Amino acid sequence: MRIRVESPDDYAAVHEVVRDAFGQEAVAELVVAIRSSPNYVPELALVAERDDRIVGHTMLSYTALVDGDAQHRVLTLSPMSVAPDAQRQGVGSTLIRAVIEKADRRGEPLIVLEGSPLYYPRFGFRPSKELGIALPLPAGIPDEAGMALPLSSYDPSIRGRVEYPPAFDLVTDDL
Does residue 175 surpass a pLDDT of 60?
no
Mean pLDDT (the chain) is 94
Partner residues linked to 163 by β-bridges: 64
For 136-167, write each residue's pLDDT tens digit.
888 788 899 999 999 999 999 999 999 988 88
Partner residues linked to 5 by β-bridges: 46
- Domain boundaries of the chain, sorted by first residue: 2-172
Tallying the residues shown for the chain, one arrives at 175
State the Cα–Cα distance between residues 57 and 64, nearest whole angstrom: 23
State the Cα–Cα distance between residues 146 and 158, nearest whole angstrom: 16
State the Cα–Cα distance between residues 53 and 172, nearest whole angstrom: 28
Fold entry, domain 2-172: Aminopeptidase (3.40.630)
Query: Between 169 and 95, where is the model more confident?
Result: 95
| This prediction's pTM | 0.94
What distances in angstroms separate CA 123 from CA 35, 100, 156, one per listed residue? 25, 9, 19
pLDDT > 90: percent of the chain: 87
State the Cα–Cα distance between residues 163 and 146, nearest whole angstrom: 13
For 27-50, write each residue's pLDDT tens digit.
999 999 999 999 999 999 999 999
